[in-house]
């Protein structure tokens, strides 16, 4: 079974998947307890969307940056559009 970390998106009122997945619940719990997730409402769900773990939000001392959010989501920040197409292919309509 694949477990996934989700984060709450208040403007939409729902949880969105991050790119952090594992079959090991304890591994994801350790990741959620890291500073990377400070200030975010997160939970771990199974393949069926069942909540396996939902810790309380831990306060953050500083404001979130774009890189903080990208790291929490497990995505890259690409400032160069040419680099984006090198990674994702040349089809601009894709």
pLDDT tens-digit profile, the chain (94 residues): 999 999 998 888 999 999 999 999 999 999 999 988 998 899 999 999 999 999 999 888 877 778 888 888 888 777 766 665 666 665 555 4
Tokens for 25, please give them: 């619940």
Q: Which domain holds residue 57?
A: 3-88
Burial of 54 per CB tally in 10 Å (0-12, 13-18, 19+): middle
Question: Is the residue at 59 inside a domain?
Answer: yes
Give Cβ neighbours of residue 45 (< 8 Å, ≥ 6 apart): 3, 4, 6, 15, 51, 52
Question: Is the residue at 38 inside a domain?
Answer: yes
Question: Is the residue at 40 inside a domain?
Answer: yes
Question: Is the residue at 94 inside a domain?
Answer: no
Number of domains in the chain: 1
Question: Is the residue at 14 inside a domain?
Answer: yes
Is the full-model pTM beyond 0.85? Answer: no
């Amino acid at each position: 079974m694949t477990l996934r970390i989700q984060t709450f998106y208040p403007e939409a009122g729902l949880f969105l998947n991050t790119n952090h997945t594992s079959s090991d619940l304890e591994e994801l719990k350790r990741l959620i307890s890291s500073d990377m997730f400070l200030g975010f409402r997160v939970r771990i769900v199974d393949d069926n969307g069942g909540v396996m773990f939902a810790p309380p939000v831990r306060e953050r001392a500083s404001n979130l940056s774009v890189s903080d959010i990208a790291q929490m989501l497990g995505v890259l920040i690409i400032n160069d559009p040419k680099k984006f197409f090198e990674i994702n292919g040349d089809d601009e309509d894709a």
